[in-house]
Amino acid sequence: MGPGQTKVTVVPTGCMAGYVDGYTIQAFPATVGTTGQRSFCSDATGVIRYNAQGASTIANSLCTDTTILGQ
């Protein structure tokens, strides 16, 4: 799991420092072809995407895979 890009510079009272523009998350098979084939990623858009070769990528705090899970 990873943070967004825009770091909180002024932390409101009662809150913890962090990032204001979302998150990224990835999941990979331990061994591609043995424990699974596809990798998955998602970001603050809420769309789960996958890579059929097990190589999801994150760039600029966004999931860059083009295949949407369920389509």
pLDDT of the residue at 60: 74
Three-class HEC string of the chain:
CEECCCECCCCCCCCCCCECCCEEEEECCCCECCCECCEEEEECCCCEEEECCCCCCEECCEECCCEECCC
pLDDT of the residue at 35: 93
Taking 80 as the threshold, does the pLDDT of residue 38 lie above it? Answer: yes
What does pLDDT average to over the chain? 84
Model confidence pLDDT, tens digit, residues 19-37: 767 788 899 999 999 999 9
**Which pTM does this prediction carry?**
0.71
